[in-house]
Each structure stands twice: as C-alpha cells, then as structure tokens.
Amino acid sequence: MATMGAITMSTSLMPRMSSSSPPSSSPSFTPLESPTPSLSSLPVRPLPGSYGLPLIGPLWDRLDYFWFSGQDKFLRKRMDKYKSSVFRTNIPPSFPFFKKTNPKMIAVLDVKAFKSLFDMDVVEKRDVLIGDYMPSTSFTGNMRVGVYLDPSEPKHSQVKEFCTDILKRGSKQWVPELLTNLDTMWNTIEKDVTEKGSSTFVFPLQKAMFRFLTKAIVGADPLPSLGENAYISFDLWLALQILPTQPINILQPLEEIFLHSFSYPFFLVQSGYQKLYNFIKTEGQDVVRRGVSDFGLSEDEAIHNLLFVLGFNAFGGFSVFLPVLLGNLGNDQTGLQTRLREEVRSKIDPTRPISFDSVSELELVQSFVYESLRFQPPVPAQYARARKDFVLYSHEAGFSVKKGELLFGYQPLAMRDAKVFDEPERFVADRFTEWKGGRGLLEYLYWSNGPQTGSPSSANKQCAAKDHVVFTACVIVADLFRRYDSFVGTSGSITAIEKAK
C-alpha cells in the first residue's frame, strides 16, 4: 500500500456557504503523517542529470521530448536512469532559433519536492508562466499581465485582488449563466447525436463557456456585438502564445519544423484581440472602472488583465479541463455514471435550481472532479526560479539548488507519486471521499498551482478561481445527471445519450 498514515476525519465534510460563492474545498481533517522522514535526516546529494553537449544536447532533448519519446516517457526514462524524481534536464523550447531561451532546468516530479514551487520565500515567479520562454508582451497590450508578475511586485496584488473581487461580485450570476449556456450546449449536442449519430462537442462547449464566462466576469453579453464565433479569436490568440511549448502529437516532423522552431507574431491575431478589447472597453465599463478606482490600475491595465483572465485562465483552462471530465464519464465501464446519478438525484432537490451550495452535498461528484484534476492536470507544467540558494527535498534526499536556476514541475507525474497516492496509475473516482479515507489527500492535489487545501492570495501564485473551478465542474456533472440517465462518449465526442426517465 502506498497510502500515507491514518486519517481521522471530522464529520462535517463541507462547511455550508451562502449559495452564491463556492464553498471552500478545505476540509477539516487531522493532517496526514509526513510521507517521508524529517528533512534533517535526509542526505543532501548532488543533483543528478545532465544538459548534454552544447547545442546538440538541447536539440536532441527537444526532439526526444516532443517527438521520439513524448513528455511523460522522456521524463520517466530519466527518472529511472537517475533513480531520482529530481534531476537536471533540458526542457524545450530551445536551439536553434530560441537563442534567448535557456532550456536548462531542474525537473521536479514528486509531490514533496513539488511543494517548493509554491514557497515564495525560496522561489520567484517572475515571467515564468510557461518556462524561460515568454511570449511577446504585444499579445497582452505591451505589458506584463498578472500571471507573469511575482508576488513581490506590487502590481501583482492589485491584479490578483481585482480578479478575486470580480469572482466575488460575479458569483450571483455565475451558476445561472452557466446553466443557461449548458442548456444551449446540450440542445446542440442532442440534435447532433440524433441527426448524425455523434457530436464533436468541443465547439458547442467552447461557445457555451465563452458566453457564460464573459457574462460572469465582464458582466456583458458578447453575442449581440461580437457574434457567436468570437471565442475562436481567443483560441488563436492562446495557441500562438503557447505553441513553442506544446506537443500536438499529430504531424511530425512538420510539427518540429513549423510549430516548435520559432514564435509566431502577434499581428496574425491582432484584429480578433482588438475586437475583444473594444468589447470590454465599451460593454464592460463597470468592471473596468472598478479596476481603476478600487485597485489602482490604469484603464488599459484593467482591460488587458481582464482579457487574459477571461481568455487564457478561464476560457483556456475550462477548454482543456471539461473535455477530459466528460471523457472520464463517457467512457467509464465501472458503473460510475449510475453511482453519480443516484447521488445527484437523491441529494439535490429536483424542484430547485442547482447551486454551489447544493453541489457541496455531493461527495462522490466532488471526488470524481478532484480525481479528474489529479489524473490529467489541465495545466501540466509549472515553473519557478530559485530566489536564493536552497535545499530542495524530495522523499529520499535533499538537493542544493543555486539562485537563478529554473525548476520545472510536471504535474502529470507528480500527481502519480506512489508514495502519496495509492494505485496512482488507476482512475479511482471515490479516491477523495471521506468513506475512502481520502479527504486528507486534498493537501497533495496541486492542479491550481497550490494545494487544494490552500488559499489563493496576493502573497502566492495559486489560481484565483481554485474553488470556482471545482464547483463549476460539480454543477456541470449534477446538471448532466438531472438531464440524462446515461451517455456514451470520449473527451472528443458524444455518441449516445439517454434522457432522464
């Protein structure tokens, strides 16, 4: 067994909250025993790994990472070779055209070492959202928006508190807007399944998410002025920024030649971005004004930060996470749908609209959402630069890290750390339930760039919407099982739907 120590649970699983804000996901529980010996008893060793020969090493590693092995195998091979979950390696983008980007990093692949990435005393988060590579600031109005700011920079607090305020103020509209747009989405999917036998749901899903998030965050409906396909502007704007760091896995070697060798310029997506900017400036006046008057941002800073939070964080995050969530349900063969449906129908009053409050009663639904976030973390990599020399501890040893070195935390492997998660390679939908003794594991669930038991604040870099994301996903699952008895599908399409009888 790989689970750590005994967990004593409190009987209250979730505190009851006002219906408009998401309940905190911090359960009350007696902390787990430390999975490893105390730090002082661990040996401090030299960091294993190598960066290879100049130019050839980074180029070879880049091809291996994106092409020959793929990310997971690339890292697992080295983890086995060095017998360590912390080691030196190149991570692309790199040679030949990314001359200013330094691929030399320290891979961090276990739960314990990963925690150092959240310790703002020892690491800095300045300009490292997607590694040493940073897309041109022309994508964000020629400014460094909040996600690129370190908590030591005063503007970080202004932007993060602005974002927290937006979420708080928008929370009354959040669930009703979500449900309205889900209604439209499911109608389209049902029609496709009836007429064509299947529905590729990514576009209806993105349409629904874009409209719901814009209404909840900006407070204005994008449909009348921008039309129903405006979300595509965000897709293109997002893709161009992150392409050099993302494996696409379809068309090698063209992918290496055309997508991972250079960065694309902003002007290709400028007109779509400008339309979104104009929309927020004219129709999101209230929220922009609050950014200016209450948080000391300039109008331009408020708008570009809103665009980033809406397009990159919120729309981008949900566009990755929700297909995975639906896929985990649609292809399940274990009877999970029946169990979830029974929980939803027995615990939620059918005569009342679903709310964050009502889904806080759904322990299995929540656990299923947490397990989906563990099994395939939507944002796989997090980076942080050593603020000073320090010792980074894995389960087995400490490693001296020098000031300025870049840590590369890779969640898909850290979240399968066998020292923490029992049967880590298996999707266990009730892993995080009280009856399974798994609520304490939330401390080790890191998808939001921090523990699920942590609190996002201006002093850290944890996702401002940590609880909103979880409870939004719970509402989507609850809504689904109110509408349907079952459905069949993958993370790309739905092939059968059985309406609730």
Nearest to 477 by CA among 182, 181, 201, 193: 182
CA distance 283 to 293: 17
Please state, in angstroms and rounded to a whole number, the distance separating the CA atoms of residues 428 and 438: 11
Chain position whose Cβ is nearest to ligand HEM: 317
Q: Which of 122, 243, 287, 464 binds ligand HEM (CB under 6 A)?
A: 464
Residue 206 interacts with ligand HEM (CB under 6 A)? no
Shortest distance (Å) from residue 161 CB to ligand HEM: 10
Shortest CB 109 distance to ligand HEM, Å: 16
Q: Does residue 380 bind ligand HEM (CB under 6 A)?
A: no
Closer to ligand HEM by CB, 145 or 494: give it: 145
Locate 222 and state its tokens.
């994008």
Site for ligand HEM in 74-133 (CB under 6 A): 125, 129
- Based on the shown chain and the rule CB under 6 A, indicate whether residue 468 belongs to the binding site for ligand HEM: yes
CB closer to ligand HEM, 383 vs 399? 383
Q: How far apart are CA 140 and CA 34, in angstroms?
A: 42
Tokens of 167: 């979420």
What are the φ/ψ torsions at residue 344 (nearest 5 degrees)?
-60, -45
> Closest approach of Cβ 146 to ligand HEM, in Å?
5
Residue with smaller CB distance to ligand HEM, 371 or 396? 371
CB of 106 to ligand HEM, least distance (A): 16
Q: Of 178-186, 187-195, 291-299, 307-315, which segment contacts ligand HEM by CB under 6 A? A: 307-315
Token pair in block for residue 292: 């200016």
Report CA 258 to chain centroid distance, whole Å. 26
* CB of 157 or CB of 233, closer to ligand HEM: 157
Is 371:108 a contact under the CB 8 Å cutoff?
A: no
Among 14, 107, 147, 386, binds ligand HEM (CB under 6 A): 147
Residue 87, beta-bridge partner list = 107
CA dist 62 and 266 (Å) reads 24
Exactly one of 461, 470, 471, 494 binds ligand HEM (CB under 6 A); that residue is 461
Candidates 66-74, 160-168, 176-184, 426-434: pick the segment binding ligand HEM (CB under 6 A): 160-168
Helical spans, DSSP H, in 257-361: 270-283, 285-293, 299-308, 317-330, 336-347, 356-359
- In single-letter form, the type of residue at position 449 comes to N
146 binds ligand HEM (CB under 6 A): yes
The whole-angstrom distance between residue 427's C-alpha and the CA centroid of its chain comes to 18
Q: Does 163 help bind ligand HEM (rule: CB under 6 A)?
A: yes
Contact segment (CB under 6 A) with ligand HEM among 134-142, 159-167, 397-405, 431-439 equals 159-167
Q: Exposed, middle or buried by CB within 10 Å (0-12, 13-18, 19+), for 159?
A: buried
In the bound state with ligand HEM, the residue whose beta carbon lies nearer, of 36 and 102, is 102
Measured between alpha carbons, how far is 484 from 185 in angstroms, rounded to an integer?
14
Stretch that binds ligand HEM, among 7-15, 45-53, 345-353, 378-386 (CB under 6 A): 378-386
How would DSSP label each residue in 372-392? HHHHS-SS-EEEEEESS-EEE
**Residue 8 CB, nearest approach to ligand HEM (Å):** 30
Query: Any contact of residue 471 with ligand HEM (CB under 6 A)?
Result: no
The amino acid occupying position 12 is S
Distances (CA, A) of 339 to 22, 343, 371, 435, 499: 23, 6, 15, 14, 17
Query: Which tokens in the block code for residue 228?
Result: 């129903």
> What track of x and - describes contact with ligand HEM for positions 213 through 242 (by CB under 6 A)?
----x-------------------------
In the region spanning residues 390 to 419, those forming contacts with ligand HEM, defined by CB under 6 A, are none
Task: Using the minimum distance from each CB to ligand HEM, give the nearer residue, 114 or 393.
Answer: 114
CA distances from 162 to 146, 159, 222, 297, 307 (A): 10, 5, 21, 9, 13
Residue of the chain from 276, 465, 474, 478 that contacts ligand HEM (CB under 6 A): 465
User: What residue type is 131 in one-letter code?
Assistant: G
How many residues bind ligand HEM (CB under 6 A)? The answer is 25
Give yes or no for a contact between 214 and 220, defined as CB atoms under 8 angstroms apart.
yes
Q: Which of 62, 112, 144, 160 lies at the binding interface for ligand HEM (CB under 6 A)?
A: 160
Helix (H) or strand (E) holding 495: strand 493-499
- Taking CB under 6 A as the criterion, the residue among 355, 358, 449, 493 binding ligand HEM is 449
Measured between its terminal Cα atoms, the distance across the chain in Å is 42
Q: Is 379 in the site for ligand HEM (CB under 6 A)?
A: yes
Contact 260, 244 (CB under 8 A): yes
Which of these ranges, 38-46, 70-78, 317-325, 342-350, lies near ligand HEM under the rule CB under 6 A?
317-325
Chain residues in the site for ligand HEM (CB under 6 A): 125, 129, 146-147, 160, 163, 167, 217, 309, 313-314, 317-318, 321, 378-379, 382, 448-449, 461, 463-465, 468-469
